[in-house]
Structure 1
Amino acid sequence: MTGYFLQAFIYLVAAVIAVPLAKRFGLGSVLGYLIAGVVIGPVVGLVGDETNVIQHFAEFGVVMMLFVVGLELEPKMLWAMRHRLMGLGGLQVGLTTIAVMAIALWFSIQWSIALTIGLVFALSSTAIVLQTFNEKGLGKTEGGRNAFSVLLFQDIAVIPMLAFIPLLALPELIDKAQLAVGEAAEHHEEISLVAGLPGWAYGLVITAAIAMVVVGGHYLSRPLFRFVASSGLREIFTATALMLVIGIAALMSLVGLSPALGTFLAGVVLANSEFRHELESNIDPFKGLLLGLFFITVGAGIDFGILAQDLGLILGLTLGLMLLKALVLLLLAVVFKIRHSDKWLFALSLAQAGEFGFVLLSFTVQNHVIPMEMAQVLSLVVALSMFLTPGLFILFDKVIVPRYRQGSHQREADVIDEQGTVIIAGVGRFGQIVNRMLTANGVKTVVLDHQVSQVDILRSINVKSYFGDATRPDLLHTAGIEEASLLVVAMDNPESTTELVKYVKQTYPRVKVLARAFDRGHAYILHSAGADHIQKETFHSSIELGVDALKCLGFHPFQVEQQKNTFKRIELRSSKILYQAWCDDSSGERFDNNYRKLFIELEETIKAAMLKDRSDKHATSERGWTPPPKGYDEVLDHDDAQRADNDANG
C-alpha cells in the first residue's frame, strides 16, 4: 500500500510543479504534463514499469472527456455537422492511410503491415487537441470546429479498425508466438459478451447495447437524477455521474465497442437534460485529473534506450509523419474552403498521432499483425509526435496568428470621398448608437473603423463607413479633421483611444473630442489627455438597470427618479475631487490610500443623500413627475401583507 501512496505522490508533485511553470512560460498545460512525465520517468527514474498499467487507467480520462464533449452537443447540432463529419473526417482518415501505406510499401514493408501502420498513424490525439482548444478558446473557431469533426470521425473509425486488423495477422508471427509461449492457453482474456457469436448475433447485441444507451439516457436518467438530487447530497450526485460513465464504458467494452464512443453518445443524449450542467461540473475535475495523469504517463513511457539506438530513424519518422499529415490536412482545408489562419489551426492541431495509436499498436501485437520490435519503434513515434504538438500550437499563436492579423491591418484603407461635421472613430456596439443618433437628426458623419468585418456589416445595412485606422494622421486629414466640429472616439482599444485623443487635442485644439472610457481609471487618463467630454461605457446603462431594480422592489417611480438624479449629481461633483487625488498621486499606482479614502467618503455621501426627504426640492427633470401620495409606503406594506395572506390561504 505504501508503494501506491509514494507513486501517487510522485505523479502529483510532478504535475503541481511542472504545469504551473509551463503555463507561466506560455507553453500550455499539456506540454507541462508531458515534461513532468519525462523528468520522473526516463530522466530521474522515479517511476518505472507501472507506467503502462497506470496509462490504461488514465485513458479513462479520454472517455470522460468525450462524455463532457457530448453534453455540449445537442443531437440537431450533431446532425448539422454530418457533412463535415463524414466528408472531411472520412477523407482525412482515408488519404492519410493511403499516403502512409504508399511510403511504407516504397520502403519494401509488407502490404498488411504497411496498411496497419497507415491506419494507426491516421488517428490524431483527441485528448491533446480538445484540451488545448479549451484552454486557448479555439473550439468555436472555424478551424476548431472542423478539427473536432475529424477527431470525432477518427474515434468512431477505431471500431471498424479493431474489427479489421485481426484479419491482417501474419502466419509466421502466429507460429512464432505459439512456440515462444507454451502457457498461452492459460492466458487471461477480457470478459466479452460477443466472443464466439455468429455475425448476425453480434450485430443484434451491438444494436441492443446502443439502444440501451440511447433509450436509457433519454427516459431513465431523469427519474434517476431527480431521485438522487432529492437527497440533497452532492457526493451522491457525483457518485451517480461516475456510475453512469463507468457503466456505459463497461457496457461498450463488453460488446467490443469503443468506451469513448459510447460515453460520447450518452453525452449527446443527455445534452438536452436539465441536469446537464450539474453532470458536467461533477465529471470535470475527474476528467482533468485523469487526462493530466495520461499525459504524464505518455512522457514517462518514452523509452530513451530504444530512442538512443535509433534516434535518427525515430526522429525522421516522427517529423515525416507530422509533415505528411499537415500536408494532407492543408489539402483538405483548400477543398473544404477553410481559409486564413483557420486552415493552419486545422492542419497543425491534427498533425500528430493519437492516444488510440497506443491501443491499436498493442492490439496489433496481440493479434500477430506487427512484430514487437517494430511496434516499440512506432509507439515512440506516436509518443514523440504527441510531445511535439504543443509546440505546433505555440507556432500557431506566436507566428501564424500575428501574421494574419498584420495582413488584415496592412490592407489599403478605403478612399474617403466625403467629409462631415462629425468624425466617428470606431463603430462597434458603442459607436453605432452614437452614429444612429446623429444621422437621425440630420448630422453628417464620417465613420471609420479598423475592422473589415464591421465595415462590411454596416455597408450591408446601408450605413456608409470606411475601413481605416483612425490613429493615422493622413486618414484623419482625408476625413476632414480640420473642418470637423466634433471627433467621437468610440474605439475598443484603450491605448489607441488615448493616443488619438492626445494627437487631436495637440494638433487640432479647436476640435471638440468626445471619448468613450472603459472604466474610471481610463476616464482619468482621457481627461488628462485633453478630452472635452468623457462617458464611461457602462455608467448610464448601469444606473438605468439600478432604477429598474428599485422599481421592481416597490419603490415609487417619482422617488426612484429623485434617487437617480441625486446619485448622478454627487458622482459628477465628486469625480472632480477624485480626479485631482488621482493626479496628485506620485506612487505610480494612481490609486493610493488617499484616493481610496476619498472614494469611501463618496459612497457615504451618496448613502446619506439617498436617505434625505427631497419632496420639496424638485430638479427640472423631476417636475413632470407626480409625487407619491401621502402614506404610499403604508399602503404598499399593506398590499404586500394581503398578498402574502392570499398565497398562504391558496
Structure 2
Amino acid sequence: MAVEAAPLYYEPLLLLGGAVIAAPLFKRIGLGTILGYLAAGIVIGPLARLISDGEELLHVAELGVVLLLFIIGLELKPARLWAMRRSIFGLGLAQVLITGLALAAIGSFVLGFSYGAALIIGFGLALSSTAFSVQMLEEQGSLNRHYGQTSFSILLFQDLAIAPLLALIPLLSPGGEGAEAISGERFLLALGAVVALIAAGRYLLNPIFRVIANAGAKEVMIAAALLVVLGSATLMQMAGLSMALGAFIAGVLLAESSFRHELEADIEPFRGILLGLFFMAIGLSLDLGMILSSWLQILIAVPVLMIVKAIVLYGLCRIFGSDHNDAVRVAALLPQGGEFGFVLFTAAASAFIFPSSMASLLIAIVTVSMALTPLSVKIGSMLMRTVEEEEMDEDFEGAGADVMLIGFSRFGQVASQVLLSGGTEVTIIDHSADRVRAAGLFGFRIYFGDGRRKEVLEAAGIRRAKLVAVCTNGVATTDRIVNLIRDEFPHVRLFVRSYDRAHTLSLRARDVEYEIRETAESALTFGRKTLEALGTEEQLSRSIVEDVRRRDEERLEIQAVEGIYAGNDKMRVRPVTPEPLIKPTRESRRLDKEAGEETLQQADEN
C-alpha cells in the first residue's frame, strides 16, 4: 500500500522539502525567502527534472496571490481606500500608460515589431508582480508606510488594467473584425460582476458569517472564508478581470466586519503555503533551454526593462509628491515584469499577434526580472539619501538597567513615569531621532536605536535587563521585536503593549509574560467616569469596572483555546442591574433595614 501511495505524495513531498530547506537558508544569508523558493523550484524542476509540470502547478499556486490580496483588503477599510484614490487612479494610470508606451516605442522603433505586437509587449511588461512586491513589503514591515501604500496603489490599478488589456488583444489580432462588440460585452460583463460582488458583500456576507459563527463550527467558518475568497475571485475571472482583484474587493467589503480577525486567521495559513508554492512554481516553469539559447537577448532586455520602469516610476512618484527616498524605494520595488504577463503573452500568441517563440522569450524575461527584484531593492537602498532629521549616532555609552523600554511614544512616556517614580533605572531606546532629541531636552536618558536589530538590543544592555517593556506603536514592529527577543534572549521577561484583542491572543501564544491593550485601561476609566456623571456612586462604579475587567480576562482565556468568537457570554450586550456586583456589608444591611422601617413608619402615620 505504501508503494502505491508514494506517487500521490511524491511531488508535494519534494515541494515541501525544498521549501523547508531553501527558505530558511536564503533568509539566513540575507537573500530573503522569495529567492529561496525560486531557487528550490529551479533545482527541483529545470535542473534535476524531478517535477516537469511547473505551468500546471503555477495555475494552482496563483491562489496564493488571490489569498494575499484578500488579506490586504481586510486591512483596508473603504474610507481608507477612497483616500488612496489619487494614487490609484492618478499615479497608477500614469505609470501604466507612460511605461507601456515607452516600452512599446522601443519595441516598434528600435526592434522593428509591428504596432500591435509592440503595444501588447509594452503594456504587458509595464505591469509589475503583485506577489513579489507585496511579499517583500510584508517581510520589511513596510506595507503601511508611505512608499508601501504608493506601491500598492500602483499594483492595484495594474490589476484593474487587466480587463482592457485583454480586450485589446482581439482588436490587434489579424482579422479581428467584431472585436469592438466583444470588447463592449466584456466591459458590461465586468461592470456587472463588480456591482454584483459589491452588493453581495454589503448585504449577504455579514449575515452569512453571523449564522455560521453562531453555529460554533470552526471548520465551517474556514470553509466559508475560502468559499468567499475563491467565489469572488472566480466571478471576476469569468468577467475577464483579475482573480486577485475580486478577492481584494471581497476583503475590503469585509474590512469593517466584526469577523475580520477571524477570517484573517483562517486564511493566513493557506495564503502562506500557496504563496510560497507560487514562487516555487515560477522556478519550476523556468525554461532554461530558452534562456540558454536566447541568453544575449535576455541579458540586454532585462536590464533595459527594469531601468525604463524604474526611471518612469521614480519620475512619477516625485511628480505626485513623494520625496526622493520614497520614490527610489518604489522604483526599486516595482521594475520587474508581472505574473499577468504570462497570461497576456500566451493569449497574444494564440491570436497570432506574434509567434509562440516570442511569447516564450517574453515569459523568460519576466521571470528573470522577478528573480532580480531583491537585487534591485538592494541597489535602491544604496541610492537613497540620508535624511538629516534621522542622522544620529547609535551611542549606547552608559546604557544598561534592570528595565529596557523600547518605544518612547505616548504610551512609553506614561509607563516610564511610573517606573522612574518607583525608583527603577530604565534604559529607553527609540528609533526616531526627532523623538530622542525632544526627550533629551526634558532630561530623559534615552538612546537612538532600532529595537528590531539584535546588535542594538545587545549594545543597549539587554543581557543585563531583568525585564523588557515593548511599548512600540505598530503590530508588525512589535511582533518583530517580540520574536527577536524570544529567539535570541529567551531568559528575558517580556511586558508588551498590544494593539487589539487578536494581537493580545497572539502575544500570549508566544509566552509573553504580561501584555495590555493600549486603550483598555483608559477606556475602563472613561466608562467609570461616565457612570459617575450619570449619578452612579463611586464605590458601585469601581465595582462595575472590576467586574468588566474580570469577565474580559475570562473571555480572553476562553478565546485562547476556542477561537476569537468564543466566550461571548462574558460580554454585556444589554443593560443589566448592577447592584449585585457589590456584596452588602453588615453595616449596609443594618442601614437598609432601618431605612425600610422608617419608611413603613412614615407610611403608617400618613
TM range, smaller chain: 0.5 to 0.7
Shift of 1:141: 1.6
Equivalent residue number for residue 239 of structure 1: 223
- Contact preservation (8 Å) 2:332, 2:379: no
Corresponding residue to 1:125 among 126, 129, 151: 129
Q: Output one character per residue of 1:308-346: Cα deviation in whole Å (capped at 9) or x when no partner.
A: 112121121111111111111111122123114322211
- Contact preservation (8 Å) 2:468, 2:495: no
Q: How many residues align?
A: 459
Q: Based on CA coordinates, which of the two structures has the bigger radius of gyration?
A: 1
- Contact preservation (8 Å) 1:518, 1:537: no
The 3 A distance-change label for structure 1 pair 203 and 394 is closer
Whole-Å separation in 2 of the counterparts to 1:379 and 1:207: 30
Q: 2:585 is matched by which residue type in structure 1? A: V
Equivalent residue number for residue 596 of structure 2: none
- 1:385 paired with 2:350, answer no
SS in structure 2 opposite 1:491? Answer: strand
- Contact preservation (8 Å) 2:129, 2:334: yes
Whole-Å separation in 1 of the counterparts to 2:448 and 2:392: 19
SS in structure 2 opposite 1:272? Answer: coil
Shift of 1:211: 2.2
The 3 A distance-change label for structure 1 pair 202 and 115 is closer
Equivalent residue number for residue 18 of structure 1: 22
Equivalent residue number for residue 55 of structure 1: 58
The 3 A distance-change label for structure 1 pair 253 and 637 is farther
Whole-Å separation in 2 of the counterparts to 1:147 and 1:132: 11
Whole-Å separation in 1 of the counterparts to 2:82 and 2:248: 14
Equivalent residue number for residue 281 of structure 1: 265
The 3 A distance-change label for structure 1 pair 496 and 133 is closer
Shift of 1:85: 0.7
The 3 A distance-change label for structure 1 pair 341 and 207 is closer
Shift of 1:258: 2.1
- 1:520 paired with 2:466, answer yes
Equivalent residue number for residue 506 of structure 2: none
The 3 A distance-change label for structure 1 pair 5 and 491 is same
Shift of 1:246: 1.7
- Contact preservation (8 Å) 1:340, 1:404: no
SS in structure 1 opposite 2:69? Answer: helix
Shift of 1:201: 5.9
Question: Any gaps of 5 or more consecutive residues in structure 1?
Answer: 175-194, 412-425, 438-448, 467-485, 502-515, 524-535, 558-631, 640-650
Equivalent residue number for residue 158 of structure 2: 154
- Contact preservation (8 Å) 1:491, 1:497: no
Corresponding residue to 2:107 among 104, 108, 111: 104
Shift of 1:251: 2.0
- 1:266 paired with 2:212, answer no
Corresponding residue to 2:238 among 250, 254, 259: 254
Shift of 1:373: 0.9
Whole-Å separation in 2 of the counterparts to 1:92 and 1:348: 14
Equivalent residue number for residue 163 of structure 1: 167
- 1:74 paired with 2:77, answer yes
- Contact preservation (8 Å) 2:432, 2:448: no
Q: 1:230 is matched by which residue type in structure 2? A: N
- Contact preservation (8 Å) 1:97, 1:121: yes
Corresponding residue to 1:301 among 276, 285, 290: 285
Whole-Å separation in 2 of the counterparts to 1:436 and 1:522: 16
Equivalent residue number for residue 361 of structure 1: 345
Equivalent residue number for residue 480 of structure 2: none
Q: 1:409 is matched by which residue type in structure 2? A: E
- 1:491 paired with 2:447, answer yes
Q: 1:381 is matched by which residue type in structure 2? A: I
How is 1:542-581 mapped onto 2 (pairs within 5 angstroms)? Answer: none
The 3 A distance-change label for structure 1 pair 487 and 158 is closer
The 3 A distance-change label for structure 1 pair 638 and 431 is closer
Q: 1:85 is matched by which residue type in structure 2? A: I
- Contact preservation (8 Å) 2:31, 2:374: yes
Whole-Å separation in 2 of the counterparts to 1:196 and 1:500: 67
Whole-Å separation in 1 of the counterparts to 2:184 and 2:26: 52
- Contact preservation (8 Å) 1:101, 1:117: yes
Corresponding residue to 1:635 among 575, 585, 588: 585
Equivalent residue number for residue 148 of structure 2: 144
- Contact preservation (8 Å) 2:92, 2:153: yes
Whole-Å separation in 1 of the counterparts to 2:373 and 2:262: 32
Q: 1:490 is matched by which residue type in structure 2? A: I
Shift of 1:118: 0.4
RMSD: 4.3
Equivalent residue number for residue 201 of structure 2: 217
Q: Output one character per residue of 1:356-399: Cα deviation in whole Å (capped at 9) or x when no partner.
A: 111111111122212111111111000000011122234455x4
Shift of 1:354: 0.7
* Stretch of structure 1 that moved more, 246-255 or 139-148: 246-255
Corresponding residue to 2:435 among 446, 454, 458: 454
- Contact preservation (8 Å) 1:206, 1:255: yes
- 1:29 paired with 2:33, answer yes
Question: Any gaps of 5 or more consecutive residues in structure 2?
Answer: 394-406, 419-429, 470-492, 497-512, 529-538, 541-581, 590-606
Equivalent residue number for residue 84 of structure 1: 87
Whole-Å separation in 2 of the counterparts to 1:434 and 1:64: 39
The 3 A distance-change label for structure 1 pair 427 and 375 is closer
- 1:404 paired with 2:404, answer no
TM-score (norm 2): 0.67
Shift of 1:453: 3.6
- Contact preservation (8 Å) 2:167, 2:183: no
Shift of 1:239: 0.7
Q: 1:59 is matched by which residue type in structure 2? A: E
The 3 A distance-change label for structure 1 pair 453 and 41 is same
Whole-Å separation in 2 of the counterparts to 1:207 and 1:499: 58
The 3 A distance-change label for structure 1 pair 250 and 452 is closer
Equivalent residue number for residue 344 of structure 1: 328
Shift of 1:249: 2.1
Q: 2:138 is matched by which residue type in structure 1? A: N
Whole-Å separation in 2 of the counterparts to 1:257 and 1:339: 33
SS in structure 2 opposite 1:34? Answer: helix
Q: Output one character per residue of 1:260-291: Cα deviation in whole Å (capped at 9) or x when no partner.
A: 21221111111111111111111111111111
Whole-Å separation in 1 of the counterparts to 2:221 and 2:431: 50
Shift of 1:202: 5.2
Shift of 1:94: 0.9
- Contact preservation (8 Å) 1:141, 1:342: no
- Contact preservation (8 Å) 1:517, 1:537: no
- Contact preservation (8 Å) 1:409, 1:450: no
Q: 2:144 is matched by which residue type in structure 1? A: K
The 3 A distance-change label for structure 1 pair 328 and 208 is closer
Q: 2:69 is matched by which residue type in structure 1? A: L
- Contact preservation (8 Å) 1:89, 1:149: yes
Q: 2:11 is matched by which residue type in structure 1? A: Q
Whole-Å separation in 2 of the counterparts to 1:201 and 1:230: 42
Q: 2:302 is matched by which residue type in structure 1? A: T
Equivalent residue number for residue 614 of structure 1: none
- 1:38 paired with 2:50, answer no
Whole-Å separation in 2 of the counterparts to 1:498 and 1:200: 63
Shift of 1:197: 7.9
* Stretch of structure 1 that moved more, 244-253 or 122-131: 244-253
Shift of 1:499: 9.0
Whole-Å separation in 1 of the counterparts to 2:171 and 2:295: 32
SS in structure 2 opposite 1:368? Answer: coil
Whole-Å separation in 1 of the counterparts to 2:115 and 2:337: 20
Whole-Å separation in 2 of the counterparts to 1:225 and 1:249: 18
The 3 A distance-change label for structure 1 pair 199 and 160 is closer
Q: 2:446 is matched by which residue type in structure 1? A: A
